[in-house]
Structure 1
């Protein structure tokens, strides 16, 4: 009998290794199809099978999957990526071609176009921020004047907060418009910018599987004007009424967008109007969310998603009820990371579930204003929110690092001045 394979289209820094491990636990052989497999360190580290193929070319993907079927039984196809959500629609088309369970491609495409998503949500009466679509600087300025500052400027397609910025005044608006319309931001098509009202209030994230809200997380962000997560806590500390209102709005999003198969992540702000939907993502979130869910409830969303993909019975029943939280380590300057220490001591703190660093010493730090800026995280869990937060803070306080600004380095990264005093950042003491 041919070996059962799970096809993974592209990869993901945080979720990719988790899908690989979950696939193996289910007796599946994971195979990654990627335009550049070298992008994903875990493929080489785990010696995983990977095939180089143009993942923007559906016909090429169909040919490659057909070739793999001569050696494997393809049990299911799914995929994920850090910055380009169009892969999810491609996955849906592949599943349709091979008659496998999967998301509806048209629904995914509507969802990944943030302007179309806004139109559909607003048309269905879902509370959303005021918004306008702009293609040039004049239209951006006009839209911001209509909505009123501050506003959010973001690309109409993308993920991971890439290109997303809070613009509090005319100067910041002009600066970010120039950035988005210049050569630094990569557009897959003609530039389309969303100008949005800044919905102010606590941030929440609802995780759904199929047509069920399985959990709601609270989070906050690091320094503005960018939206880089600082801390997440699961489950969110909500009243029954608040939980019900967020769940109700989330389910209305599914109906408006034609979603309801597989995972969906919905980002909201609790404003004076109540819950306002910021974004709907037709996938599991990246970052620490799946790990927090497992620690809080004893349910592995990634494993259950794979079961759905391969048409097996899934089980979202909660095994226990704990409080899990993550703190993200975010540098406050660019430069060379000289050293980082204390993470081993932090990992030894009782109640800490994971300490993970994404970079090594001597790595250049060049912040981009999105999820790629984070250099590590600490995750903790316990029976109560207060205890979890105390454990997390204690662990983070043990971690220090040093960054030497680029300004004192020559072009080849050699010191251009006498030995400088490194700039130290202690993330737990900000």
Structure 2
């Protein structure tokens, strides 16, 4: 009998990979996000909101009692916290509730890292305008962010104490809710993709992020050009962080900043990376991290992980001016450009380009490869420049709160908090 896994939010590609690994897949997905083509690779499909904790827990218990699961897996941004909860409830191997919660709650992770001396960073939770101003005066600059979430949603940099009133007004208008304040870290931003088996953490890839001075990633390049000796320091910090949170098995996506005082962890997630980084990892290092995650459920486990670098790859995102889309040009030319592996546009004429508030607002991307990182990045930028999304301003500039954006994405930051509110 084939091993069985419970997959939360499975895409067609993800479910297919699990089936190809020799697994029976039970997929629980949100109706609005479900990809119908995924059904062909599942033994069961349940279209319910997996962030409805009471419902998904009862459903998982019933399914597990009928025929046990080997693992609970999720590669979505909203799913790992629930997957950790179900892993603990069902008594399965994998990242459990405590570890998933630590990695979901940025303030809890920062407190733990500071307590363990793993790249300490001054921070506070919540506050007032006077506290923000005092924090900025003491530390020079700060960043405010929700204590939970991803995709740079609700993140804002405050460079001087004089900017505090404007930032406070934005926090209120955007409806950030519970937030944390950290010293603003400056330096090269990188992402580390790792995979853990029985507590042994292997760093598979390190990419460099370009956010153009803002908070939303405009591009990534892999491998990241790092100063001599920096790679070992980064890998050591990531391994110490993963040990501290108790992650034993599976993928982790960790974002860091290379400051003058050494690397500092920004956040980490127990899943494969978004932003096309997982695709870059496969192009350059040959690891399909989604497939590796599925293989954890097999009796033979995961094959030996021996990273090998084959050239470089980069992604560049499309961020046209916000407004109504009049025309899209140049996609065919971009796809034919040198080194381009993939190019996609996510908006059509008549559609709308939103202001760049988080990763979901990007309008497309170009992935390119080359023999070295600089050339791969140049190719991705050049091909992306060939794509022109023509927009016209809307009569009334759209405004939205953070909750509006989450609702449109069918996501809540803390499904356990919602469950408590509904009791």
TM bucket normalised to smaller: 0.7 to 0.9
Partner in structure 2 of residue 314 of structure 1? 302
1:52 equivalent to 2:53? Answer no
Partner in structure 2 of residue 328 of structure 1? 317
Distance change (3 Å), C-alpha of 1:195 and 1:386: closer
1:372 equivalent to 2:363? Answer no
Residues in 1 aligned to 2:22 and 2:332: alpha-carbon distance in whole angstroms: 33
Q: TM-score, normalised by structure 1?
A: 0.82
Residues in 2 aligned to 1:137 and 1:9: alpha-carbon distance in whole angstroms: 40
Residues in 1 aligned to 2:397 and 2:102: alpha-carbon distance in whole angstroms: 46
**Shift of residue 307 of structure 1?**
0.9
**Shift of residue 380 of structure 1?**
1.0
The question of whether the paired residues in 1 share the 8 Å contact of 2:252 and 2:271 is answered with yes
**Shift of residue 100 of structure 1?**
3.0
Residues in 2 aligned to 1:299 and 1:4: alpha-carbon distance in whole angstroms: 22
The question of whether the paired residues in 1 share the 8 Å contact of 2:223 and 2:373 is answered with no
Residues in 1 aligned to 2:18 and 2:366: alpha-carbon distance in whole angstroms: 25
Partner in structure 2 of residue 205 of structure 1? 191
Alignment of structure 1 residues 284-303 onto 2, 5 Å: 284-303=272-291
Residues in 1 aligned to 2:299 and 2:139: alpha-carbon distance in whole angstroms: 46
Residues in 2 aligned to 1:269 and 1:101: alpha-carbon distance in whole angstroms: 32
- Structure 2 counterpart of 1:185, from 172, 175, 182: 175
Alignment of structure 1 residues 15-414 onto 2, 5 Å: 16-34=11-29, 36-38=30-32, 40=33, 43-44=35-36, 46-47=38-39, 50-68=45-63, 74-82=69-77, 84=78, 87-148=79-140, 150-170=141-161, 172-182=163-173, 184-185=174-175, 191-210=177-196, 211-224=201-214, 227-310=215-298, 312-315=300-303, 316-318=305-307, 321-331=310-320, 333-407=321-395
In the TM superposition, what whole-angstrom CA distance separates every residue of 1:363-392 from its partner, at most 9, and x where no partner exists?
Answer: 122225111121111111122224323432
In the TM superposition, what whole-angstrom CA distance separates every residue of 1:43-69 from its partner, at most 9, and x where no partner exists?
Answer: 135556642334344442233234445
Query: For structure 2, which runs of at least 5 residues remain unmatched after alignment?
Result: 399-423
Residues in 2 aligned to 1:214 and 1:390: alpha-carbon distance in whole angstroms: 24
Partner in structure 2 of residue 419 of structure 1? none
In the TM superposition, what whole-angstrom CA distance separates every residue of 1:237-282 from its partner, at most 9, and x where no partner exists?
Answer: 1245111111111112122222232112221111111212222223
Residues in 2 aligned to 1:368 and 1:397: alpha-carbon distance in whole angstroms: 18
Residues in 2 aligned to 1:311 and 1:340: alpha-carbon distance in whole angstroms: 49
Residues in 2 aligned to 1:8 and 1:58: alpha-carbon distance in whole angstroms: 15
Q: Tell me the C-alpha RMSD between the 2 structures.
A: 2.7
**Shift of residue 75 of structure 1?**
4.5
In the TM superposition, what whole-angstrom CA distance separates every residue of 1:89-123 from its partner, at most 9, and x where no partner exists?
Answer: 32123223334332021122122221111111011
**Shift of residue 296 of structure 1?**
0.1
Query: For structure 1, which runs of at least 5 residues remain unmatched after alignment?
Result: 411-430
Distance change (3 Å), C-alpha of 1:374 and 1:60: same
Distance change (3 Å), C-alpha of 1:74 and 1:268: same
Partner in structure 1 of residue 6 of structure 2? 7
Residues in 2 aligned to 1:164 and 1:322: alpha-carbon distance in whole angstroms: 33
Partner in structure 2 of residue 413 of structure 1? none
Aligned residues: 390
